[in-house]
Amino acid sequence: MMNNQKIGVGIIGASPSNPYSWAVNAHIPSIKALSDDYELRAVSTSRQTTAKEAEKKFGVTGFDNHLDLINHPGVDLVVVAVKVPYHHEIISAALDAGKMVFSEWPLANGLDEAEELTKRAEASGVRTIVGLQARYSPVIGYAKDLISEGYIGDVLGTTLVGSGMGWTGVTDHLNSYVYDKANGVTLLSVPIMHTIDTLQYLLGDLSILSAQLVSNQAEAVIADTNTIIPFTSPNHVSIMGTLTEGTAVSVYYRGGISRGENMRWEINGTRGDLVITAPSGHSQLAELKLQGGRNQENHVEDLTVPESYFGNHLPNGMPGNTARIYEQFAKDLREGTYTTPDFAHALRQHKLLSIIETASLTGMRQHLS
């Protein structure tokens, strides 16, 4: 812990006027729930009016310039919860100031920026976090333990089908930036990479993969302004391959919302099967459901996740996984461990993202080292 005191948190991007604000909906409830370890000290937004609104709502100093927040003496941990194209500038400034950084995923807009930020973090010697929090879902934790205990025997294969919820023909102004792949927020980079990070956490790393990124809609309509924008982000992604232990993998995501299931993940073994479902393909924030069956059972049944996986004092629903990543980070600081996903981990995922794009572009199978 910071000098045996609470970790002072400053959040960049905490605009109360934005209904989609991840900072407001996930980070602030998490910090409040972990008041023994953390204290919110400052927030910043891009405009003076919203900064004042945030200051009034959250009861801490509000800035309209991220540099003022970074230089606040009470801020130990800078949370970067803004659009990806602004990550590089803000994270660089925080690292230069010697502050710990919690960056939402993706860490950066492309592999080159991710490599540079990771090198900066290593040179500065400060602790970092990246918001790949799906692994902290109680369902994922319980499924991992079941697999390690041999519930389904040896894992043979896994199939995952999901919906991106966005990246369809109609959007609104606030979300329209994700349709331009140059902004770094795509069907592949967000819901798929969150989920593949979790898949590898459960089952092991990808060893060989093939991929196809499909863009078959050229335009989208912004409904609230009735304007048409180019649609350059892929809206269908298929990935096939094997894990290091030989497990077969198939992942398919589509843009939009399915009238069927929006996420179904099967893990098949020599003795049984696990099935994870959710109302959204965003595994990092969706409410996951776990089912299983084994041996002579010819179907799966609901599996109840023990209460010990949830944490009594942590919020339920959307903020839950973010709260658990904060909780783990505080524990790492106390115990001198490094288990929370950090920038080095994020860089590995950015490299994997780049390999998937290369596989699609070249049509060639990629062997991962």
Average pLDDT over every residue of 283-305: 96
**Percent of the chain residues past pLDDT 70, beyond the cut:** 99
Domain 135-305+349-362: state its class.
alpha beta
DSSP state of 358: H
| Residue 168 CB neighbours (<10 A) | 18
C-alpha to C-alpha distance for 350 and 353, rounded to whole angstroms: 5
Mean pLDDT for the chain overall: 96
Number of continuous H segments (helices) and E segments (strands) in the chain: 10, 18
Where do the CATH 3.40.50.720 domains begin and end in the chain? Answer: 7-134+321-341
Is 36 a residue whose pLDDT tops 70? yes
Cβ(142)–Cβ(290) under 8 Å?
yes
| Predicted local distance difference test score (pLDDT) of residue 313 | 85
Cβ(63)–Cβ(42) under 8 Å?
yes
Q: Tell me how far the alpha carbon of residue 254 is from its chain's centroid.
A: 18
What long-range pairs does 353-360 form, CB within 8 A, spacing at least 24?
A: 353/106, 353/111, 353/188, 353/189, 353/193, 354/111, 355/209, 356/188, 356/209, 356/211, 356/213, 356/237, 356/239, 357/188, 357/211, 357/213, 359/209, 359/210, 359/211, 359/239, 360/211, 360/212, 360/213
Which has the minimum average pLDDT: 74-78, 253-257, 313-317, 334-338?
313-317
Is 3 a residue whose pLDDT tops 80? no
C-alpha to C-alpha distance for 299 and 353, rounded to whole angstroms: 35
| Predicted local distance difference test score (pLDDT) of residue 17 | 84
| Predicted local distance difference test score (pLDDT) of residue 137 | 97
Mind listing the pLDDT tens digit for each residue in 184-241?
Answer: 999 999 999 999 999 999 999 999 999 999 999 999 999 999 999 999 999 999 999 9
What kind of fold does domain 7-134+321-341 have according to CATH? Rossmann fold (3.40.50)
| Predicted local distance difference test score (pLDDT) of residue 316 | 84
pTM (global) more than 0.85: yes
Is 22 a residue whose pLDDT tops 90? yes
| Predicted local distance difference test score (pLDDT) of residue 311 | 80
How would you list the strands of the sheet with 155-163, edge to edge? 301-302, 289-294, 272-277, 263-269, 155-163, 248-254, 236-243, 206-214, 366-367
Mind listing the pLDDT tens digit for each residue in 123-139?
Answer: 999 999 999 999 999 99
Residue 4 binned pLDDT confidence (cut-offs 50, 70, 90): low
Pick the closest to residue 166 from 141, 183, 142 (CA basis): 183
Is 2 a residue whose pLDDT tops 60? no
Mind listing the pLDDT tens digit for each residue in 232-285?
Answer: 999 999 999 999 999 999 999 999 999 999 999 999 999 999 999 999 999 999
Where do the CATH 3.30.360.10 domains begin and end in the chain? Answer: 135-305+349-362
C-alpha to C-alpha distance for 69 and 244, rounded to whole angstroms: 44
**Percent of the chain residues past pLDDT 90, beyond the cut:** 94
Residue 18 binned pLDDT confidence (cut-offs 50, 70, 90): confident
Is 1 a residue whose pLDDT tops 60? no
| Predicted local distance difference test score (pLDDT) of residue 323 | 96
